[in-house]
A and B are shown apart, each in its own frame.
Chain A
Amino acid sequence: MSDDNTNNSEERVYVKLISAEGHEFFLDKTIAMISGTIKTMLEGSFREAQDNIIRFPDIAGYILERVVKYLHYKEKYSNAATRIPEFIIEPEYALELLIAAKYLDC
């Protein structure tokens, strides 16, 4: 499996997620990989894995934004002992967020 972007050193790798409108979101690769779909994409031998850029022509920006927020939230509180604050989901986006979540497996 060609996975030439995995690194074991201190250097952090960033991936770029591009929404339907063209919004670009940078995030840490490890955080991005919390999403199952993204993980597979980045570990496969397709184009995405080589340049670390993933386009989501079907997902709107505001949705993708919230997804990214969620990924950070999850990463932060995954093994936390402190009290976990609620992740706020605005009801008007709830439906689309749900679909995106199913799509992205996260």
Chain B
Amino acid sequence: MADTRRRFNIKPFRAHVPMDKTVAQQTWGALANAIDEIYNRNASQLSFEELYRNAYNLVLHKYGTLLYEGVTQKLHEHLTATAKRLEEVPDSKLLEEISITWAEHQITMIMVRDILMYMDRTYILKERRRPVYELGLHLFRLDVWEHPNVKERASDLLMMAVANERDGRLTDDRTILKQIVAMLLELGQADSSNVYEIDFETPFLGQTQDFYRVESLSFLSRNTATDYVIKAIRWLEEEKDRANALALPLTTESPLQAMIETELIDRHARTLVDMEMSGFAALLKDDTKLTEMRDMYDLFVRVPSSVDFLREALAERIKADGKALISDQEKGASDPPAFVKGVLTMRERYDKIVDVSFRGEKKTRKRMRESFEDFLNVDARAASCLSVYVDELLRVGLRGATEDQITQELNRVIVIFRYLSDKDVFESFYKQHLAKRLLGGRSVSDDAERAMVSQLKAECGYQFTSKLEGMFNDMRISRDLQDSYKSFKRNQESQQSGETSGNIKAVDIEVDVLTNGYWPSQNVPACTLPPQVQDAIDRYTKYYLEKHTGRKLSWQTSAGAAELKATFGNGSENHHRHELIVSTYQMCILLLFNDFDSLTLGQIRTKTHIPDSELRRHLISLCTPKHRILRKGSRGRGISSDDDIFTFNAEYTSKLKRVRIPLVKESSVSKGGDAASGPASAAASAAVSAVNGSVPLPVEEDRRHLVEAAIVRIMKARKSLGHNDLIAEVTRQLSVRFNPPPQFVKKRIESLIEREYLERTLDDHRVYNYVA
């Protein structure tokens, strides 16, 4: 304030004249007329200021209620008149008229609101009444829309319009529909009356649902699943388009989408999958249908729960294919390597399907893996087949392959290996095969062998492969020993060159020294070896034991090979020599014939101490038509009795100088079966000839020990544990090697309780305690 002391007088305020009733009425009359004029679209003649001032004055002089009530009444009159007019309008024009009327009403209301702005700001806030604009909407709804004649007809017309459009009849009603939808939305919002929801949304959704229910059913019954998928996608897009064009609010759009998806997809998911020829299940069989499947997946993915059906179908198919492979192998229609190759191909095929048709969805991939595991682990068959396959690879298949190829092949093997649950069965077979390969020198490449072992180590850990690595080590050490023994012998001989070393000619031997624990054990007592051989062996033994005192060598005569120089021919004519490559046992047998011309089975047995079944096998392989080194007395394939006589066959001939004498298969010995068809390499025909699904006995025993060890280890750490928890823990620890069934574990627990490693608690016999 600049000058506080200046006396100011307030100009006489225009005296606050209390307005009396008549003046008020007049003022109101003017306003009422104005509203009429506005309705008649004559507003441009009016002065805004005057009307505004009138309203202002009324409110100021406390006639707000009068004004408000008056306005309400006036609007009401006008709107009723409008409604009446609409009643007369024929159906075909009704929607259009409503739309126009609504637009006009909006304009009018804006003008009325403008005039009455003062009231809006003061009186209404104070008295908490409906603001003017909302009042207008509210009255519109009540008087116009809710008019029975209007609403019924309008609703029906709306629904019909939508139905028409769906049927494919193009209407240009879309703009009008859009306006009416907007109108309903605004009306509903103004007075929270849910007009939109009640009068439009609900019937709309209901009608849509019915429509799609019927349509989808009829379409599906007349068309293939693939066509249906295309049509369904098109429908969904149409509806989305329509919702946009009509500017439906999101609250409608989302239930709409959801409902259509339910009708189109959810309801028919099963049918779509199972339909013959074109259903998903059928499509899976066909390699060319990847895109069709993917389309179906895209459709189903809108209703996530329905994708389960697709996954189910996939799982079923994998199981069926898997079963076919297994039964092929069972019947002998295909051999183990073919089985494995079949599984590999199958896996690649389904991988591709998951990638393309399921867009690599994680859940599906998991399901595929589970299905593979399921059918592969029905019994231990897959493990043994896989080991045979790997054996073949490492013996023959990878000959001349590059490093990359080797890695690729082995990778594929490992993939299948991962699926197996009986990994220890695989290990035991693999060990046996590996032993034969190493000892027989049949492995195609050292690198490949090592690559395989390192892959296994990466998969299962060090423990798994420690024995295998031990085997490699043994071979390496043996070779070194061999070299040093040779040089030792040379030194010895050169020292003894002057003396006669007896009339026994020294025999060259190559020895592989194996550490007992690493190699599959044979435990066969040694047979009686020919004296020359025995002599060489004794010398080697002496040499070795000097190097490594405190060790014990036991000679495995069941394995090994020998090269014999044999002279055939009667007298001095037809002398021909051959070099025969035979097994140790065969060598023992044949060398006997140096001293005798013919021998009986019993005699041979006594002289050589070869176990009987092996003896028979080796004998028969020496009498086969192809390699008749010995002549058998009895007729027929098999050996008749102990008195069966064997004679040296001097007339034996062969085109080759070096002849390898193969061993016949074990099974053919007893039945006297296909003796000449022994496989080319002796190795494969031995122990693992029958690939069946059972777990081999030694593995079974190992498992028992492993489970017991695991139980004791766990109990020692936890001191006390419940039955279910214990089983879960044991299973988890052993899952790397194999899956123990709960019953199995239970038996082991009981056995441990008997042996007093564990005990049951007194109060709760499901809980076990560790006994120190």
Seen from chain A, the residues whose Cβ lies within 8 Å of a Cβ on chain B are 1-2, 36-37, 40-41, 44-50, 54-58, 88, 90-93, 95-96, 103, 105
Contacts and interface: CB of A to CB of B under 8 A. Distances in A.
A55 B49 contact: yes
A57 B53 contact: yes
A92 B43 contact: no
B121 interface: yes
Nearest to A40: B114
B13 A44 contact: no
A47 B121 contact: no
Contacts of B11: 92-93, 96
Q: What 9 pairs across the A-B complex have the smallest Cβ distances?
A: A46-B48, A41-B48, A40-B114, A92-B8, A48-B48, A45-B43, A47-B47, A46-B46, A44-B114
A41 B52 contact: yes
Nearest to B8: A92
Nearest to A58: B53
B40 interface: no
A87 to B, nearest CB: 13
A46 B47 contact: yes
A105 B118 CA distance: 9
Contact of B52 (A37, A91, A92, A93): A37
B8 A44 contact: no
Contacts of A88: 2
25 contacts: A1-B107, A2-B44, A37-B52, A40-B114, A40-B117, A41-B52, A44-B48, A44-B114, A45-B43, A45-B44, A45-B111, A46-B43, A46-B46, A46-B47, A46-B111, A47-B44, A47-B45, A47-B46, A47-B47, A48-B48, A90-B8, A91-B10, A96-B11, A103-B118, A105-B117
Contact of B49 (A41, A45, A90, A92): A41
Interface residues of B, number: 25
Interface string B19-58: 0000000000000000000000001111111011100100
Interface of B: 1-2, 8-11, 13, 43-49, 51-53, 56, 107, 110-111, 114, 117-118, 121
Contact of A95 (B13, B45, B121): B13
A82 B56 CA distance: 38
Given A40-B117, A58-B53, A103-B56, A46 B44 contact: yes
A23 to B, nearest CB: 15
A37 to B, nearest CB: 7
Contacts of A103: 56, 118
Contacts of B43: 44-46
A1 B1 CA distance: 45
Contacts of B44: 2, 45-47, 50
Given A37-B117, A45-B111, A96 B48 contact: no
B118 A40 contact: no
Contacts of B47: 46-48, 55
A103 B117 CA distance: 10
Given A44-B48, A91-B1, 10 more contacts: A2-B44, A37-B52, A41-B49, A44-B111, A45-B44, A45-B111, A54-B48, A54-B49, A88-B2, A96-B13
B56 A47 contact: no
A100 B46 CA distance: 22
B8 to A, nearest CB: 5
Given A44-B114, A45-B44, A96-B13, A91 B53 contact: no
